[in-house]
Structures are given as C-alpha cells and as structure tokens.
C-alpha cells in the first residue's frame, strides 16, 4: 500500500484540466469553517457565524468574475449550474410563449449537450448545434446567422476543455443583440404588425457561457463579456470538489426551478448550505484573482516548453515553398505554425534524436500535430495527436509515470472512438485516434515538463517502430 501511494506521488501530473489539487489557502479556509458547524440559515449565533463566513466567500467568488455578490448562486458543481441555467431559462421562456429554439456548439461539454438534447427530446425544443473552424472555434457570425424569431437561449463555452481554444464570447454577445434588433427592424420593414411587435416585446436572447476551464488561467469579466449566465466549477481552480457557482446577471427573467424545497439561495436553489465547501471556493477565487498575471505567464511558459520539446522530437512539416511568379503570384497562405515552433533550440534536439540523421528526422516530420487555436488558446492546454497510433496504447506505455488524459473516449486497448471535439474540428482519423490532452498547472516545473516530453516521445517512437 505504501509503495503504491509513493508511486502515485512520483507521477508527473499533467491533467489539471480534469481536476486540480486544493490550494493551501482553500484548505485553511475549509479547516477553519469546520468549527462553524451551525446551519447558515439558523438565527442563533452559531448559524450567524457560519452565514457570515458563507457570504464572505460569495463576495470573493463574485469578485473573480467582476459581479456583485447577489448575482452569484452557490451550487454543488458546474454540471448543476448548467442544468439549472439551461433548463430553467428554456422552460421559463417557453412557458411565457417567447419561443422554443436553443443555439449551442458541437464541441460543448456533455453537461451542456445532454441538457439540450433532453430539452429537444422531452420538451419539444428545437436546437441548432453549430460547427467550428479547424481550430475548434465558434464564430460570432455563425451564432448570429442561427438566430430565429423563436430563439430564446444560447450556450457557448468560454474555452474548450479538450483543446483549449478560447471563443469570442463578447463578440457573440454583441452579435446576439444586433440579431434581435435586426429581426425587429425586418418585421417593421415587412409592414410591421405582429412580427415586429412580437420580436420587440420579447426579452433579449439569454446567453450562457461555461467558464469552468478559463477561471484562474485567464481574466474573466462577466460584465465585459456581456453574458447573462456564467458557470464556475470549484475543482477546476484549486477548490474542493462538490461546489460550484452560477452567475446570473441582475435583471435576468426568473428561471424555472430545478431543486424544490426550502428558500435557500434567495429561493433559487434549495438545500442546506455547505459553509466549508463554499469557504474553500471563495479562498481559491481570491488566490486566483490576486495572482492571475503570474499564473497565466507561468502556465504559458510551461506549455510552450512542453510543446517545443515534443516538436524537437517530432518536427512539424516544413511550410510549402513560395509559388513562383510563373505560377500565378508570390505565394499564398501557408499553414500557421505553432507559437513554440520558432522557440529556442532544445538540447539534444532534432538532429540528435536517437542518433538518427536527416532521413530519420524526415520520417518524423508530420508525425505529430497540435490541436487548438495557435493563439486564442488556454495558456496551460496542449492537445497533441500522433499519427498511426492509438491513445490507449500510448497511455499504457506511460502509465505510472505521467497522469494525463486521452483526447478520445476510449472503449478498449485496441480501439478508440474519436472525441466529438476532434471530429467537429475535422482532425484526420489517423491523428485523432492517437491524441493526448496535456494540461499544466501552477505547480508544474520545467524539470517535469522536460521529463514528460521525453517519456512521451520515447513511447511514441517505440510504438511507431513496432508498427513498422
């Protein structure tokens, strides 16, 4: 048992997008709150002490996203916030006769996709699942084009949990407002009447964004983004599991209730408040807010180093030569190179890999590709695909050495189904089936990154050699 525990702590942890360790400040807040065992809803001194701690944490959570404390509803996890927000907003809008159309993207977390499918299947909603560009990004134009007079709700993630691509949320929010205004103007241009009046009288299309992966890595400002709802997930930003929060912009129409019971959370979410979990989330949010710039810089440096190390072993293919004048112009758009490709040379780099010469290097060119936007991407997330191998086999080779995730939902050691995110991005199958998601954290060191890159590269080379 002791040897097993020691082996776990010896692993290099590169799965911070899956969950994070609890930070020391959150642990201290949780420990302190254990003494405040009174029910926060009780009127006596013990209850009031717990309530004071609880509300202090709510204020810290609100500050992280530039909200007011009364715009934050505390819940058990990110999935609950999404269920309450999407189901509550959609059902309330339909009951009021405002419409029954929802817009989301094809690369959302299952917590969003399953709720939307449920609303379609069980409640008669219509849904548009938008495609993405090859980097996994949703365009504001595609969202605006999908709006109909029946649209009541839009949910687009702030950043993708698998490839890290960051979406243009503020631009999407502006486009939604413009689309609604354009619909009213078109109705008036067609003679006014019921269409123009109906569109003008409807409340604005409600907009939700899941910021679970972005918080603590990027600055997130609810007001600047222009959204109505934001999802906060505790265990993604060094708080405990079992706690989350939903930002609801002041003035948003009431949502249909998901949890029935007493009047906790101003009647929005029934259930006895957990002072210790909320205190842990509040402390983690305070740490994230205070150290945002330094954390972002460190995460980016570690991710770039990891990518550069891997690209030294598996170089990206060279860009095509510029077209000659006889060919009709001075070149075209070359495929974008990743930001780390032109970084400093790595010791023992390309020409020194395995003692091979240029032939071996040429064979490895194009063996790896990086998924996600080259610039608009989470600073900590690196999704890499290796051509011709299966992610389960690769993870088996590094088992016990590196903790990371496959970029595919794996069914067995011999087969892998490509994730819906990679499929939507159009990643070729021979790459997609060999995808790893590597996500660094605040505690990740350069030494860990270097060692992880070597272990992964060695395992890939061994698998490729066996396949040949």
Burial of 129 (0-12, 13-18, 19+ CB in 10 A): middle
- Measured CA to CA, the distance from residue 302 to residue 449 in angstroms comes to 7
Residue 5, C-beta contacts closer than 8 angstroms, at least 6 positions apart? none
Q: Where are the beta strands (DSSP E) in 264-329?
A: none
Half-sphere exposure of 463 (CA within 13 A, CB side): 21
Q: Are 143 and 153 in contact (CB under 8 A)?
A: no
Six-digit token pair at 353?
A: 């890999």
Distance CA 351, CA 358 (A): 7
Q: What residues have CB less than 8 Å from 35, skipping those under 6 apart? A: none
CB 347 within 8 A of CB 400: no
CA–CA separation, 429 and 274 (whole Å): 45
Q: Which tokens go with 20? A: 């994070």
Angle at 163 between CA 157 and CA 168, to 5 degrees: 40
How far from chain centre, in Å, is Cα 359? Answer: 39
Residue 462 to residue 208: CA distance in whole angstroms: 45
Q: What gap in Å lies between CA 355 and CA 348, rounded to an integer? A: 10
Side-chain half-sphere of 253: how many Cα atoms within 13 Å? 20
Closest C-alpha among 302, 369, 295 to residue 338: 369
Give the Cα separation of 128 and 116 in Å (integer).
10
Instruction: Report which DSSP code applies to 339.
Output: T
Count CB atoms within 10 A of the CB of residue 193. 10
Distance of CA 162 to the CA centre of its chain: 7
What is the Cα–Cα distance from 210 to 232, expressed in whole angstroms?
A: 7
Which residues does the annotation mark as catalytic? 410
Let me know: does 367 contact 386? Beta carbons within 8 Å.
yes
Q: Please give the C-alpha separations between residue 330 and each of 320, 337, 409, in angstroms, as whole numbers.
A: 12, 19, 43
Q: How far apart are CA 78 and CA 459, in angstroms?
A: 35
């Amino acid at each position: 048992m002791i040897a097993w525990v020691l082996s776990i702590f010896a692993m290099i942890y590169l799965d911070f997008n899956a969950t994070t360790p609890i930070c020391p400040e959150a642990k201290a807040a949780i420990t302190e709150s254990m003494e405040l065992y009174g029910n926060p809803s009780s009127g006596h001194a013990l209850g009031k002490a717990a309530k004071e701690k609880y509300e202090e944490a709510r204020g810290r959570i609100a500050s992280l996203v530039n909200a007011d404390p009364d715009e934050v509803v505390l819940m058990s996890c990110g999935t609950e916030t999404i269920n309450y927000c999407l189901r509550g907003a959609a059902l309330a809008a339909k009951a009021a006769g405002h419409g029954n159309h929802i817009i989301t993207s094809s690369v959302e977390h299952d917590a969003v996709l399953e709720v939307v499918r449920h609303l379609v299947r069980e409640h008669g909603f219509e849904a548009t699942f938008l495609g993405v560009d090859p980097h996994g990004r949703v365009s504001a134009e595609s969202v605006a084009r999908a709006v109909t007079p029946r649209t009541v709700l839009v949910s687009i993630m702030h950043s993708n949990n698998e490839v890290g691509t960051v979406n243009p949320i503020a631009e999407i929010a502006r486009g939604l407002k413009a689309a609604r205004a354009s619909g009213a103007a078109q109705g008036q241009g067609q003679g006014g009447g019921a269409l123009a009046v109906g569109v003008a009288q409807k409340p604005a299309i409600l907009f939700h964004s899941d910021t679970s992966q972005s918080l603590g890595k990027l600055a997130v400002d609810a007001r600047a983004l222009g959204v109505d709802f934001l999802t906060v997930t505790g265990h993604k930003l060094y708080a405990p599991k079992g706690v989350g929060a939903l930002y609801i912009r002041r003035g948003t129409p009431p949502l249909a209730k998901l949890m029935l019971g007493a009047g906790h959370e101003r009647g929005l979410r029934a259930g006895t408040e957990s002072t210790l979990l909320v205190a842990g989330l509040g402390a983690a949010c305070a740490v994230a807010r205070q150290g945002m710039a330094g954390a972002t810089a460190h995460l980016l440096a570690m991710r770039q180093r990891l990518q550069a190390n891997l690209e030294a072993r598996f170089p990206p293919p060279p860009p095509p030569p510029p077209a000659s004048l006889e060919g009709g112009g001075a070149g075209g758009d070359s495929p974008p190179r990743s930001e780390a490709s032109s970084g400093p040379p790595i010791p023992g780099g390309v020409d020194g890999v395995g003692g091979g010469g240029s032939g071996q290097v040429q064979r490895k060119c194009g063996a790896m590709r990086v998924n996600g936007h080259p610039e608009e991407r989470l600073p900590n997330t690196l999704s890499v695909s290796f051509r011709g191998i299966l992610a389960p086999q690769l993870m088996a080779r590094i088992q016990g050495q590196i903790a990371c995730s496959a970029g595919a939902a794996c069914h067995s050691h011999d087969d892998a189904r490509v994730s819906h995110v990679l499929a939507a991005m159009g990643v070729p199958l021979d790459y997609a089936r060999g995808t790893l998601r590597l996500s660094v954290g605040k505690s990740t060191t350069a030494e860990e990154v270097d060692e992880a890159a070597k272990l992964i590269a060695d395992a890939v080379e061994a698998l490729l050699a066996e396949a040949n």
